[in-house]
């Protein structure tokens, strides 16, 4: 196969992730080329986006480039990839997970504030809900942009603190102080880089299988199946983490109401099977999660 065209967003973190994939492909004997894809709206496709199932805010443009065969693979943060992939697109490789958790970063002026008194900048429904479950009186402000942009907004006084994925901080080798928050269960598949490709491209998919990390694939399949079975087509405050040892999976999952007042949590250890995430999700739904999900659907 000639040089593999790797599609990526053009943010510093996305480029780092694409370069990681490129290095792995080069290590097994293939040449690569990075193709930054700038968001340009809906590019020309023969079918409308909704017919192809293209829905992800952060993945849409790369999906279109992939379907238009402008790139051979698209590199994503797996947590940003919708659980229903566009027609004809598959994920043949995930990289080994590195840093799955969320962390708290404070404005230096708030370094001595009690955690319960912090005003928090986040636009994540999950992070807000899980925080409110612990600290019901917390005040929030929205924050968007890449890691560097968010830290600049925090420095400028937007809030006392913000919540970020540790993976982004570590991958960018950023010198910032952070605090671990055990109660803030991460998003499903957080800390995992994935490669998407066209199902029809059998030769390329066989190549990508060489860089796939199978333990991470099993864990993220469990987490994504859990998310998909719970969501029912809506965005909700859902966290999940699967850790595999041999054939045994230790799993933690949670769904919370948007205001954080109601929360259902599951902690289980089981033998890994293809349907494990669905079984865990059904347990959540049967133990109070269904009413929480129905409430969320009326609010979004």
**Catalytic positions:** 80
Alpha-helix residue ranges (DSSP H) falling in 54-146: 60-67, 125-134
Looking at residue 260, the DSSP 8-state letter turns out to be: S
| Cα Rg, the chain, nearest whole Å | 19
The tokens for 174 are 């950023």
Alpha-carbon gap, residue 189 to 253, rounded angstroms: 12
**Separation between Cα atoms, residue 76 and residue 93, nearest integer Å:** 11
| Cβ atoms of residues 94 and 212 within 8 Å | yes
| 66: nearest Cα among 79, 57, 75, 58 | 75
């Amino acid at each position: 196969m000639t040089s593999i065209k790797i599609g990526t967003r053009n943010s510093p973190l996305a480029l780092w992730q694409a370069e990681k994939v490129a290095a792995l492909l080069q290590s097994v004997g293939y040449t690569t080329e990075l193709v930054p894809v700038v968001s340009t709206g809906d590019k020309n496709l023969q079918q409308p986006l909704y017919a192809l199932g293209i829905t992800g805010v952060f993945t849409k443009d790369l999906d279109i480039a992939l379907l238009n065969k402008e790139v051979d693979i698209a590199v994503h943060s797996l947590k940003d990839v919708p659980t229903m992939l566009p027609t004809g697109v598959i994920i043949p490789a995930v990289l080994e997970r590195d840093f799955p958790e969320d962390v708290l970063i404070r404005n230096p002026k708030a370094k001595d504030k009690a955690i319960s008194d912090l005003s928090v900048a986040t636009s994540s429904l999950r992070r807000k809900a899980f925080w409110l479950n612990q600290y019901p009186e917390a005040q929030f402000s929205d924050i968007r942009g890449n890691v560097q942009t968010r830290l600049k907004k925090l420095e400028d006084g937007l809030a006392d603190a913000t919540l970020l994925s540790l993976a982004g901080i570590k991958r960018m080798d950023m010198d910032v102080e952070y605090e671990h928050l055990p109660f803030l269960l991460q998003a499903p598949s957080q800390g995992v880089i994935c490669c998407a490709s066209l199902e029809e491209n059998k030769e390329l998919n066989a190549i990508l299988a060489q860089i796939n990390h199978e333990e991470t694939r099993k864990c993220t399949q469990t987490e994504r199946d859990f998310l998909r079975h719970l969501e029912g087509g809506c965005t909700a405050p859902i966290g999940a983490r699967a850790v595999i040892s041999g054939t045994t999976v230790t799993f933690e999952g949670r769904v919370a109401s948007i205001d954080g007042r109601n929360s259902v949590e599951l902690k289980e250890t089981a033998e890994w099977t293809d349907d494990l995430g669905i079984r865990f999700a059904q347990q959540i739904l049967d133990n109070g999660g269904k009413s929480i999900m129905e409430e969320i659907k009326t609010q979004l």
